[in-house]
Structures are given as C-alpha cells and as structure tokens.
A and B are shown apart, each in its own frame.
Chain A
C-alpha cells in the first residue's frame, strides 16, 4: 500500500481524470475539431482552442521518455517509498504524462529511458482515489 498525496477535488479540469482512475480507466481527451490530443485535462483544446472535446480511455501502454529517482523528499507523504522513480511516460495514444514507475527491484538500476510500461492503479492507504502509476510491460 502507499500513502501518496491525493488530488484535491472537486476541481473543474481534473475531476474527470480522477473519477476515471477510480473506475480503473486512464482518461485523456481528443479534440473533435482538430483531432489534437489534450493532456493534462482541460476544457479547451491546446492546439486550436475548441471546447468540443471527447474524453477517451487509454490502453495504458507507453514508453518512458525520461525519469529520475528521488533520493530525498522532505514531504512526509513520500517517506515510506524510499528511493522512488518519477517519469514522463509517452502513452501510445499520443499524450505525455508525469507519473511514477513501480514494480522494479532497484529503481536506480532498473528504470530505463525507452522501456515499455503498463499503467496500474495503485490503491492508497488514505484517500479514495487510486493513483495511476506504471510498471514494466
């Protein structure tokens, strides 16, 4: 189990994403007008400004674009994780997400740029929203 910080909701842009996490879905948006991919969630398209967006569920497969292993964080919420990996993951549907990489023995050695990863919804000790993180696919 984990004790990550929870999103603070309600919040207009990100509510639907976190409702998705609760339902086991990794949600992103596409623009009906220009077909652009919108992430993180907003009420307008960042390519063309249209407000006609469709929310979709990702397959949750992607590639690590870059990462770091955090050795020191003074926030108590992360004390129990030890050294942990944070990363940008490029999802196959065309969006890039800040996330954590789990399911590796030693993150300082086993996380690599370019590695394929799969989403999982990590339950939290306190708080109702599971956090979407990634493990090696």
Chain B
C-alpha cells in the first residue's frame, strides 16, 4: 500500500439511535449529535472552527446552523448535493484542514422523514416552473422510476436479473439483523418480516416501479448524526483511534442525448479518490455504498472498480458482500439504507459505519479491517446526480 498523506481524520462520531422519533426536531438531532460526537472525540463545543452543512433540517445551512449551534466557525461550507453531500463535506474538510484553514470540522444531519410521512420514493413532482420540471412533471416519473429505468437498461444490456440484485438486499438485511438499532428501526417502522431474507422474498415482494420490488428499496426513517474531522495535530489529543481520510473524488452525471444510463458519476469520482489514496479497489475491506435501491449499489460496484461494467450480476452471487465472506469487501455492514437507516440523505451513515469498522466497533465487525470506501449518490441515478467517493484508513 502506498503511503498517503494523513492530514485529517475522523475523530468523533454519533449516529442518532432512533429511526422514528416524533419527540425531537431535525435541528435538535443535528445539534445533539454534534455534542455527542465531540464527546466521543474528547473535544469541546469551543474547539469547532469548521462547519459543513447541506442546509437540510428545518433551517440549517450557512445562515441557519451556526447561530442555532452557537458557534463562529472560520470555514463555512454549504455544499448541497443531495444524499452524498456528506462525502463532499468530508472531502472539503480534508482539503481545508490540509490547507490550515480550520482544525476541527463538524458535519451533521437531521431528518424527520418518517414521522412527517414524507413519501420520498413515490412522492409528487418537483416544484414547478423550471427548465427541468416543465419537461419532467407531465410524465409522472417518481424517484424510484428513475432508478428503475437504470435497472431495466442494465438488465437489457448485460442480462442482469432481479435474482442477482437480490443478493444486495440479502447481505444488508443479514447485517441489519446483527445491529440492534437496525432491528429496532424495522420494528418501529412496521416492517412485515424482521428476519434474514431470501432471493424468493425479494422476487415475490410487491413491484413499485418495474423492475424494482419493495425489498429492493430503502426504508424511509427519521434519523441523523454527526462527524468530527480534525487535523493531525488535534488528533494526538483525541480519545478514540483516528480514522484517516486519505482520498476523495467528486463528480456529477446527468441525462444527455447519448449518455450510458448504466454508468454513474462514480465512474469519474472513484478513480480520483483511489488515485489520491494510492490504493486499489481490491485492497478495500469495507464498501459503504449508498443503497437507496439494489441497482444503485450494483452500478456503483462496477463504477468503483470492484468488477467490470456489466459483470456485477455474477460478481454478487453467493453472498460475496456479506461481512463474513472473505471473497469481497463487506457491504453496508450497518444494515444499509435498505434495512437500517435512510432518512432521505444517507451519505453521513456511509462515513459513520466506515469509521466504526476501522475503529473495530461495528456490530458486523470485519476482523482487521484497514481500508474502507464510502461512496454516496445524491440526486437521481439515471437522471441528474452527484457522486462522492471517500477513502478511509485505520490508524
């Protein structure tokens, strides 16, 4: 493994434990999570000098969150690219810390999507009157349908099947069953069967948008969390082993008149991140990949370089991505968006579970895990989306 620059590390983490929590606001989830992540790091409120925020959660963003928290950061980054905003934030914090612009950066997320009954996947059209909405809204393309169109094309070009994609649902559910918070989440959100699932379970679950079935779709939960990223000088005084950020990449992809819909922005962001980190996909122990839907993971496994474009169906066979299978990286060992936590923008949880694994704290701990990749997708696969890749390394 090449020697990377190790300038910034995750030193504090907190995942909001509840997935249905009518008793708090999204901003309270953010603020309290930051407090607990700082405690986890052994740092204080006053140490924070970098604020990274996607602006979600009842008035966050550059003008909202700092006064609510009561801090005066030196760096304010309000990058908002949907569910992968947090990979972008981590990348920017890494860059800003390396440049000496700040020493203790915080990222936070809070959402009440479940208790507010927000129909993310099957909801109404985007706000009207724009160059995009005027060309989309008359057709009734739900969020899920955008991903489903990617799945259909992938099946058409490469012969990928639902039975193959089901492996993704099965592995994440197996991991969720080992995570007490995920089991509680499925109970609180009234999942019909809270157990490990089979290919048949997936194939026979209700079709939401052909060819995607219910058990290929993520849950809609409440939740949130926070992450503290610190400079190497600050790291020396923190409580837990640091988890180094060693590479990052950002990209966007969108519909053109001839784009390959089965290739995501990850095909552009991942090589940059792996290149900066000086590691190869084959060296990765933990793959935290945004599982909004099975097809999202399938496309990104290819785009991140775990297998060739079109080969993911074969690659997935036989439970390769389970935490206890040494043949591949362990996928979404917290249970993923499919079976543990998806309040709308899952990107922060990819970093949180990566950090837990590289500290040795996961409920599906991979022995000796040294390297993780967190890859998020924001926006709509198959239409406009952003991809953010972060490579993380154990101390």
Are B139 and A99 closer than 8 Å at their CB atoms?
yes
B258 within 8 A of A: yes
Are B130 and A70 closer than 8 Å at their CB atoms?
no
Flag the segment in B99-107, B149-157, B279-287, B310-318 that touches A. Answer: B149-157
B108 within 8 A of A: no
Given contacts A17-B135, A98-B255, contact A68 B149 (CB under 8 A): yes
With most chain A CB atoms within 10 A of its CB, the pick from B131, B134, B137, B141 is B134
Chain A 52-83 interface residues, beta-carbon cutoff 8 Å to B = 65-75, 77-78, 81
Flag the segment in B120-128, B346-354, B360-368 that touches A. Answer: B120-128
Q: For the complex, what is the distance from the CA of A20 to the CA of B176, rounded to whole Å? A: 52
Are B134 and A18 closer than 8 Å at their CB atoms?
yes
Determine the residue in chain A with the shortest Cβ distance to B258: A96
Q: Name the B residues within 8 Å of A98 (CB-CB).
A: 135-136, 139, 141, 255
Count, chain B residues at interface, CB 8 A: 41
Determine the residue in chain A with the shortest Cβ distance to B153: A66
Q: For the complex, what is the distance from the CA of A11 to the CA of B133, rounded to whole Å? A: 11
Least Cβ distance of B210 to chain A in Å? 4
Q: For the complex, what is the distance from the CA of A95 to the CA of B135, rounded to whole Å? A: 14
Are A68 and B210 closer than 8 Å at their CB atoms?
yes
Given contacts A66-B156, A75-B123, contact A96 B145 (CB under 8 A): no
Q: For the complex, what is the distance from the CA of A68 to the CA of B147, rounded to whole Å? A: 9
Task: Indicate which residue in B119, B209, B382 contacts A69 across the interface (CB closer than 8 Å).
Answer: B209
Q: Name the A residues within 8 Å of B136 (CB-CB).
A: 98
With most chain A CB atoms within 10 A of its CB, the pick from B133, B210, B212, B257 is B257
Chain A 8-55 interface residues, beta-carbon cutoff 8 Å to B = 8-9, 11-14, 17-18, 37, 39-42, 46
Chain B 241-296 interface residues, beta-carbon cutoff 8 Å to A = 255-258, 261
Q: Name the B residues within 8 Å of A4 (CB-CB).
A: 138-140
Q: For the complex, what is the distance from the CA of A87 to the CA of B128, rounded to whole Å? A: 20
Determine the residue in chain B with the shortest Cβ distance to A6: B138
Determine the residue in chain B with the shortest Cβ distance to A72: B122
Q: For the complex, what is the distance from the CA of A111 to the CA of B134, rounded to whole Å? A: 24
Task: Indicate which residue in B122, B145, B256, B257 contacts A68 across the interface (CB closer than 8 Å).
Answer: B145
Q: Name the B residues within 8 Å of A108 (CB-CB).
A: 207, 210
Q: For the complex, what is the distance from the CA of A13 to the CA of B209, rounded to whole Å? A: 30
Least Cβ distance of A21 to chain B in Å? 10
Are B138 and A13 closer than 8 Å at their CB atoms?
no
B142 within 8 A of A: yes
Q: Name the A residues within 8 Å of B51 (CB-CB).
A: none
Are A14 and B139 closer than 8 Å at their CB atoms?
no
B129 within 8 A of A: yes
Are A8 and B139 closer than 8 Å at their CB atoms?
no
Are A5 and B125 closer than 8 Å at their CB atoms?
yes
Are A70 and B141 closer than 8 Å at their CB atoms?
yes
Determine the residue in chain A with the shortest Cβ distance to B152: A66
Are A74 and B131 closer than 8 Å at their CB atoms?
no
Q: For the complex, what is the distance from the CA of A71 to the CA of B122, rounded to whole Å? A: 9
Q: For the complex, what is the distance from the CA of A98 to the CA of B150, rounded to whole Å? A: 13
Are B210 and A94 closer than 8 Å at their CB atoms?
no
Q: For the complex, what is the distance from the CA of A72 to the CA of B207, rounded to whole Å? A: 9
Given contacts A7-B134, A7-B137, contact A69 B153 (CB under 8 A): no
Q: Name the B residues within 8 Å of A5 (CB-CB).
A: 125, 128, 137-138, 140
Are B145 and A70 closer than 8 Å at their CB atoms?
yes
Q: Name the B residues within 8 Å of A114 (CB-CB).
A: 156
Q: Name the B residues within 8 Å of A90 (CB-CB).
A: 257
Least Cβ distance of B216 to chain A in Å? 13
Are B135 and A70 closer than 8 Å at their CB atoms?
no
Are A84 and B140 closer than 8 Å at their CB atoms?
yes
Task: Indicate which residue in B140, B153, B258 contacts A78 across the interface (CB closer than 8 Å).
Answer: B140
Are A14 and B152 closer than 8 Å at their CB atoms?
no
Q: For the complex, what is the distance from the CA of A100 to the CA of B257, rounded to whole Å? A: 17
- The residues of A with any CB-CB pair to B shorter than 8 Å are 4-9, 11-14, 17-18, 37, 39-42, 46, 65-75, 77-78, 81, 84, 86-88, 90, 94-96, 98-100, 108, 113-114, 131, 133
**Which 9 A-B pairs give the minimum distances between C-beta atoms?**
A68-B148, A8-B129, A7-B134, A75-B124, A66-B153, A13-B131, A8-B128, A14-B134, A78-B140
Beyond the given A96-B257, A100-B140, could you list 5 further A-B residue pairs with CB under 8 A, ordered by the A residue number?
A8-B129, A18-B134, A69-B210, A74-B122, A87-B149
Instruction: Supply 7 A–B pairs (Cβ within 8 Å), ascending by A.
Output: A5-B138, A7-B128, A9-B129, A18-B134, A68-B141, A68-B210, A88-B261
